[in-house]
Amino acid sequence: MRIVHQFLKLVFIAALAVQAGCSDPPKSNNTAAALPGIDALVSAQWLKEHLGDSDLVVLDATVIVESDAEGNFRPVNGRANYEAGHIPTAGFADLTGELSNVESPFQFGMPSPEEFAAAMGALGVGDDSRVVLYDDMGSSWAARVWWMLRWIGFDRAALLDGGLDAWTTAGGELSTEPVLRNARTLTVNLRPELIADQEEVRASIDSDAVNLIDALPEIHYQGEWTMYDQPGHIPGAVNVPVTSLFDETGHFRQVEQLSKLFIGDREARTVTYCGGGIAAAADAFVLTRLGFTDVAIYAASLEEWAANPDNPMEVDLENIE
C-alpha cells in the first residue's frame, strides 16, 4: 500500500506540476574554487556519514497533498509532517509560503530572486554552504527548490535519492526537535535562462530548435483527463511523465535507463512543463544530470497556459488504450 500511495502522490504532483550572471557563467574566485563540492544526487548512506559537517544544511521541502470528498486535490503546508519526524538537523523549506510568491495567481508563483535568496538565507544557507534537499512526496518538491537555487546561481545543492523513505530504510533516525539556524547571506548571480515564460513557449511551438517536454501523466498528456482549463498538451511537446523517472522504491532510475527517456540534441534549448512547475523541475533535474546544457522549466506551466484560450492545446485520444 505504501508504494501505491507514493505512486498516487507522484501522479498528483505531476498534475501540478547552465550558468549564472545573466547569460554568462559566473566568475569564480579562489575562495569559491576551494570550497568542497557536492554531487547533485546523494544517497542516504552519504548523508549519514556527512550529517555532522559544519557547512551542510539539510532541508525538508515536503508539501502535503490532500483531497476533498469530490476528489479535488490541493497542496498544503507540510510542516505537520516535518514536526512529526524529520532528518536530524533538517530545517523546513516552505514552498507554500516564503519560497514562493504567495500573491501570484498561480499556486507556486516564482518569487523575486532577492526574495528567494533571503528566504534561503533565513534557513541558514550561505554562499559557502552545501545543501541537501528532500521531501516525502517523490522528490519533485525538493527538485523545485534545487532548481530555484540554480536559478539564483547556487550550485552546491543535492537531492537525497529516495527522499525520507530512503533515510528511514537505511536506518536513519528521525527527530521531532525544531531546527533553527543563524541567518546567512546568499548572493544572487541570476541565471534568467533557467526559467521560461509563456512567450518563449509560444514561440517554441513552431521551432525545431527547442525541445518541449511534458512531465504530466500520460492520461493527462493525451487529453483524457485534466485539472486545467483545456485538456491535452502544448503542441510539439513529448511526454516524459515524472513517475517514469523513479523505480519502485522511489529512487531515481539509473542514468542508463533515464537516458532512454530523454533523446535529442543535448545542447539544444529544452523546456519542461507540467501543471505548476513542480514535476517539471524533476524532469529538468534529470536532464541536467544527463548533460543537457540549456534546460529551463516553464514555471507557470498549464496553470497559466491552459487558462489562456488563445494558447493552442492538442489531444491524442485515439492512442488511449
- Identify the CA nearest to 301 among candidates 243, 245, 227: 227
User: How many Å apart are CA 81 and CA 58, to the nearest integer?
Assistant: 16
Residues 305 and 311 sit within 8 Å (Cβ to Cβ): yes
Q: Which three cell numbers stand for residue 80?
A: 505537520
* DSSP bridge pairs for 158: 132
* Of the candidates 76, 86, 204, the residue with the CA atom closest to the CA atom of residue 141: 76
Residue 245: phi and psi, rounded to 5, are -80, -15
Q: What is the DSSP string of 95-143?
A: TTTTTS-TTSSSTT----HHHHHHHHHHTT--TT-EEEEE-SSSSHHHH
Alpha helices in 90-162 (DSSP H): 113-122, 140-151
Hey, what's the torsion of the CAs at 90, 61, 212, 301, to 10 degrees?
-150
- Which of the residues 14, 56, 274, 279 is marked catalytic? 274
CA 90, CA 175: separation in Å to the nearest integer? 9
Q: Please classify residue 142 by burial: count the beta carbons closer than 10 Å to its beta carbon, then call 0-12 exposed, 13-18 middle and 19+ buried.
A: buried
Determine whether 274 is an active site residue.
yes
- CA pair distance 91, 104, nearest whole angstrom: 25
What is the largest distance, in Å, between two alpha-carbon atoms of the chain? Answer: 58
Cβ atoms within 10 Å of 265's Cβ, excluding its own: 12
Are 109 and 116 in contact by the 8 Å Cβ rule? The answer is no
Positions marked active-site: 274
